[in-house]
Structure 1
Amino acid sequence: MTQEVVTTKSLPAVAWRPVGLVAAIQLVVLTALSGRYGFHRDELYFVAAGKHLDWGYTDQPPITPALAWLSTSIFGETPFGLRVVATLAAVATIIVIAYVARELGGNSTVQWVSAAVAALGPFVVAVSHMLSTTTIDMLIWTLLGLFVLRLLRTGDGRWWLAIGAVIGAGMANKWLILVLVFGLAVGVLVFGPRAVLRTWWLAAGVAVTLVLVAPIMVWQAANDFPMLTVASGISEDDGAENRILFIPMQLVYPTPVGAAVWIAGLLRLWRDPSLRWARALAMSYPVVCIVLLIAGGKPYYSVPLLLLLIPAGVQPVLNWLTTTSRRAVVGVFAAIGVVLAVITGLPVLPPSGLNGPVLAINKEQGEQVGWPELTANVARAWTQIPEAQRATSVIFTSNYGQAGAIEHYGPGFALPQPHSGHMSYWDWGPPSDSMTGAVLVVGGQPMQSSLMAGCRIVAENDNGIGLDNEEKDTPITLCDRTTAPWSVIWPQLRRFY
C-alpha cells in the first residue's frame, strides 16, 4: 500500500525561475573567474592525457581526459577553454540537486534553497572552478541519487536502465562510484522497498553497465590493473591522516550552515514516515563513510553524497527559522561561510596573497600558480647544455604536473617534449635510445647513481612571488648522461604515486 501511494503521488512543479537564477549566477561567476591564475597540475596532466586518448590510464578511466580534449579542442588550450566543461558540469549538478528536492516533495522555495546551499559549499566552489575527476564525479553521484530516488518512489523498473547507464559513466570516470552503489544497495536491502529488486529491469540495467565498462576493464586487465596499485599507494601514504580528518571535514566542506542542513536531512529521512521509501539514501551515508574510513579514503570522497542529503534537510531548517534571532544568527554564519568559500575556492585574491590560511585550507589554489615560471627556469637551465648536444639531450620530470607544464609552455621556450616516469607519462614511452646526451632532471627523481652520471644541481625553481606551493624550490639537476640506454632503465623509473 505504501508503495502504491508513493507511486501515484504528484510532485510539485519544477521551480525553473529561481533555480535558473541560482544556476545563472553560478555560471557567470565561474566563467568570469575561470581564466585567473592558471592551470592546476592535474589539469595540465588531463590536457596531456587528452592528446593520448585511450580506454584507460594508469591512475584513471578515460572520461575526464576525453572531456579535457573536447573542451580544449573547441574553446582553446587555455585555463578558460579547459574549464568550460567543468563549469557546465557544476551548473548541471546544482540543477540535479533541485530535482532531488522536488523528488522529496520540496516546493519552489525548497528547490532553489537546496540548489543555493549546495552551490555555495567550499568543496563545491573549489571543484567547480577547475576540471578534475571529482568535478565530473560530483555530477554523476547526484544523478545516480536522483535516479535511485525516482526508482524507489515510483517502483518503475525502467529506471534501472538509467541507473545502469549512470553507473557505467561513473566507472568510466572514477571507480569511487562503486562505494555509493554499495551504500545504496545496503540501504535498499535493509529498508526497502525491496520490490524494486524483483524485476528483470534490474538485470537489464546491469547489462547496460557491463557494456559501458567492458572496454575500460579490458584495458586495465591488459595493463595489470594499475589503478589498483595507485589506490593502494594513496591509502598507504595518506590513510592515517585521512581517517583523522574524515569526520571534521564532513562539517567543513559544506560550511557550518550546509552541515546543519545535511544533518537535518539525514535525521528527516530516518524519522519522516512520508519519506520512508527514501530511507535507503540515509542508510547509504554511514555505510559509505565506514567503507572510506576502512580504506583510508580522502575525506572529500563522500561530499557528493552530502549534496544529496541537503534537499531533505532544507524544509526542517526553514521551519526552524521562524524567529528573527534565529534568522540573524544563521545569516551571519551563512555570510561568513560564503566569504570563506569564495576566498578559499575561487581565484579572487592576488596569487601572492595565497600564503597562509588560504593554502592551509585549500592547497589546490597554490597548484594553479607558477607553471610558466617553472618552465622558464627549466629553459634557463637547458641553455647550460652545449647547443651541439641539445638534439640528443632529454628533459625528465619527477611528476606529471612538471611534465604537463613543460609540454604546454615549453614550445614557447624552444624546449623539447618532456618525459616522466610518473603515472601515464611512463606509459607514453621513454626517449629513443639514440638520445645519449645530457639529462635535465626536474625534481628529485631519479637521483639513483646507477641510472644517471655526472649529476649536479644547477638551479632551484622560483615562482617569483614566494608562493609556498609544491613546486617551490624544486631542484633542477643537470646530468651528463644515463648509465644505460633509456629502454633499459625505463622500467626502473616508473612511479605510481
Structure 2
Amino acid sequence: MVRLRMLPAEDDRAGEIPAFAWRGVAAVSAVLFAVLLALSPWYGYHRDELYFRMLGEQPAWGYVDQPPLTPLLARAAIALFGDTVTAIRVPAALSAAVLVVLVALLARELGGGRTAQRLAAAGIAAGAFTLVAGHSLLTLSADMPLWAAAILFVLRALLRGDGRWWLAAGAVIGLATYNRHLIALLVIGLAAGLLATGPREVLRGRWLWAGALLAVVLALPNLLYQVANGWPQLEMAAALGEDKGAEFRALFVPLQIMLFGPVAAVVGAVGWVRLWRDRRVRALSVAYPVAAALTLLSGGRFDYTAGLILLLFAAGCVSTEAWAAGRGGRLRNVALALAANGALSAVVALPLVPVAALSSTPVPSMNEVARESVGWPEFASQVAAVVRALPPGDRARAVLLAGSYGEAGMLHRTAAQYGLPPVYSGHNQLHLYGPPPEAAAVAVAVKIPRRLLGRVFGDCAEAGRTGNRAGVENEAQDLPIFVCRERKEPWRTAWPRFQHYS
C-alpha cells in the first residue's frame, strides 16, 4: 500500500489506495502499441480514415456529422509521419495504449491490487473493440480513453472526498465534446444515478457545479458551431436512427457482449454488481442502464456504451482478484479464459486472416472495419481506367462524383497518382465542398443511383464496374461506373439533389 501525499487531509482513503502496478501495466501498453503499429499496413485504409483525411485538410470547429478532433488527429499524424496508412493510425494505436493504463487506474481506484490492475490492463488490451479502435483511426479511438479519464476523475471525486476532482472530470468532459457528443450519455447517466441513489450531498457541493461549468465553457465553441449551423449533428443522428435504428436495436444486446468479448462481458457483469453494492459509486452502476436505454430509444450504435463497459470490467477485475485471493487455480483459470477471449478478439478485430481467404471466413460479417478496409487500391485503379479512356476534350472538362465519403476519400487520396480530376460528393460534410464548377460538363460517377443521374444528365452510360479480387462484399464492391454528359441544369441548382446523410 502507498499513501498519496498530493491530496489534502480531507482525503480519508489515501492510505487505502493500492500501489500502481506500473511495470506490468506499462508492459501491456507498450506491447499493444507495438503490435498495432506492426499490423497497421495490413488490409488498407478504412473508409472513415479516408474521410477524416479529407476533413482534416479543411480544419473547422465542427462538421455536419462530427466534431473536429479525429479529423485533426489525422491531419497532425500525416504532417508528422507522412501520408501513409501507418501514419494515420499512430493516434489510434497511441489511444489504445493510453486506454490500457487508464483502465488499470480505474481498477486501482476501486481498491484493486496489482493482480486486478494487470487483469484489467491485459483484458482490455485484448478486447475486440480496443483492437478495432487501436488498429484503425475511428472516432471511437480517442473516445474510449476520454471516457475512461472522465470516469477515473469522477471515481476520485466520489471516493477520495476531494471535490476538486470534479474540475478534472469537467475538463475532460468538455474536451471530449470535440470528438463525439456522446459523452453526454455519461453526464446524463451519472446525474440520474446521483439523483436516484446518491450520494445526493455531492449535488450540493460547489465543486461539482464548478466542474460542470468548466465543461460547458470548454465545449462552448463546438456548441456554438452547432447552433450557428442549425444543429446539423441532430439531423445526422435522426438520419442514422431512421436508416439503421431497427438494426441497431436488434443487435444491441448481443453486441454489448461482443464489444470486448464474452469473457470480458461476464467480468463486467460481476463489476456492475460490485458498483451497485458500494453506495459511494452506485450512481455509476445506474449510469450504464440509463445510457443503454437512451441508446436503444434513439436507435444509436451499440458501441455508444463502450466507455461505461470499461468501468464495469475494471470493477469486475477487482472482484475477481478478491475471489481468487490465495487460490492460484482460480486466478489461472480466469487468466486462461481472458487469454482465449483475447485470441478470439484478435482474429476478428485485427488483420490476421490473409485477404485472399477473408471472404471465406465470418470475419467480414462480424467486423465492419475489416470488411470496409479491403479493395481500395483496385477501386481507385478501376475508376482511373474509365477516366483515362475519356477523349482528351472530355477529360479536361470532367469531374468525379462519388456517392459516399469512402469512395470520395480514396479518389481524392490517389488523385495525384492517377492524374484524376477533382472529386465531389453529396455525402455528409462533403456536400458543403461543392458544387462542381459550371465548366465541368462531364462527370464520372460511382455509387450514385442511375435515376438521380438521369434527372441531371441527358446521357449516362456504364463504362466499368468496381470489384476486389478477394471477393469481399463491401460498400465499394460491384458498383457501376457511369460517364455522364449533357447536363440539363446548372450545377448550383442540381447540387442539392446529391445531398444525403448516412
TM range (shorter): over 0.9
- 1:78 corresponds in structure 2 to 84
Which structure 1 segments of 5+ residues have no match?
none
Answer yes or no: is the 8 Å Cα contact 1:398–1:446 preserved in 2: no
Q: What's the counterpart of residue 120 of structure 2?
A: 114
Whole-angstrom CA distance in 2 between matches of 1:31 and 1:202: 39
Q: Which residue of 1 aligns with 2:301?
A: 298
2:373 and 2:155 mapped to 1: Cα distance? 38
Moved more, 378-387 or 334-343: 334-343
Alpha carbons of structure 1 residues 450 and 219: separation in structure 2 relative to 1, 3 Å: same
Structure 1 residue 323: deviation in Å? 6.3
**What is the CA distance between 1:132 and its match in structure 2?**
0.9
Q: 5 Å matches for 1:94-113?
A: 94-113=100-119
* Residues 176-212 of structure 1: per-residue CA shift (max 9 Å, x gap): 1101110111112222222222233333323322222
Q: Distance in 2 between matches of 1:473 and 1:488?
A: 30
TM-score using structure 1 length: 0.94
- The counterpart of 2:433, out of the listed 406, 428, 435, is 428
1:336-363 Cα deviation digits (max 9, x unpaired): 3222211111112211222131112112
Higher mean C-alpha displacement, 253-262 vs 144-153: 253-262
1:329 and 1:400, CA in 2 relative to 1: closer, same or farther beyond 3 A? same
Q: Is the 8 A contact 2:364 2:472 kept in 1?
A: no
Distance (whole Å) between structure 1 residues aligned to residue 386 and residue 201 of structure 2: 67
> Tell me, what secondary structure is at the counterpart of 1:368?
coil
Deviation (angstroms), 1:153 = 1.0
The residue aligned with 1:412 is: 417
Deviates more, 1:348-357 or 1:398-407: 348-357
Q: Which residue of 2 aligns with 1:32?
A: 38
Q: 144-153 vs 240-249, which deviates more?
A: 240-249
Question: Does residue 1:395 correspond to 2:415, yes or no?
Answer: no
Tell me which amino acid in the other structure corresponds to 2:74. Answer: A
Report the 3-state secondary structure (helix = DSSP H, G, I; strand = E; otherwise coil) of the residue aligned with 1:77.
coil
Q: Secondary structure at the match of 1:477?
A: strand
Q: CA RMSD, aligned part only?
A: 1.9
Task: Kindly state the Cα deviation for residue 137 of structure 1 after the two structures are TM-superposed.
Answer: 0.9
Aligned counterparts of 1:467 and 1:75: Cα–Cα separation in 2: 30
What does the per-residue CA deviation read over 1:33-76, in whole Å, with 9 as the maximum and x for residues that have no partner? Answer: 11222110000000110001001111001111111111111011
Task: Deviation per CA, 1:142-192: give whole Å up to 9, x if none.
Answer: 111101001111232222221221111111111111011101111122222
Counterpart secondary structure, 1:60: coil
Write out per-residue CA displacement over residues 245-283 of structure 1, whole angstroms, 9 at most, x where no aligned residue. 111222122222111111111111222xxx321111111
Given that residues 397 and 445 in structure 1 are in contact (C-alpha distance below 8 angstroms), is that contact kept between their aligned partners in structure 2? no
Q: Deviations over 1:300-348 (max 9, x none)?
A: 2112211111121113324445768756765654343222211111112
8 A Cα contact 1:292 1:298, kept in partner:
yes
Q: 1:210 aligns with which of 199, 210, 216?
A: 216
- 1:128 matched residue in structure 2: 134
1:239 aligns with 2:245: yes
User: CA–CA distance in 2 between the matches of 1:338 and 1:269?
Assistant: 25
Q: 1:114 to 1:332 in 2, by over 3 A?
A: closer
| Equivalent residue in structure 2 for 1:350, among 330, 338, 354 | 354
Choose the corresponding residue for 2:311, options 298, 308, 312: 308
SS at match of 2:463: strand
Contact residue 447 and residue 480 of structure 2 kept, 8 A: yes
1:10-25 pair list within 5 angstroms = 10-25=16-31
> How far off is 1:20 after superposition?
0.8
Q: How does 1:97-496 map to 2 (within 5 A)?
A: 97-271=103-277, 275-321=278-324, 330=334, 333-355=337-359, 356-435=361-440, 437-445=441-449, 447-448=451-452, 449-496=454-501
Percent identity between the two aligned chains: 40
Aligned length: 491
**Superposition misfits of 4+ residues, deviation over 3 angstroms:** 3-10, 318-336
The answer (yes or no) to whether the contact 1:440–1:477 under 8 Å persists in 2 is yes
Query: Which whole-Å CA distance do the structure 2 matches of 1:335 and 1:213 have between them?
Result: 40
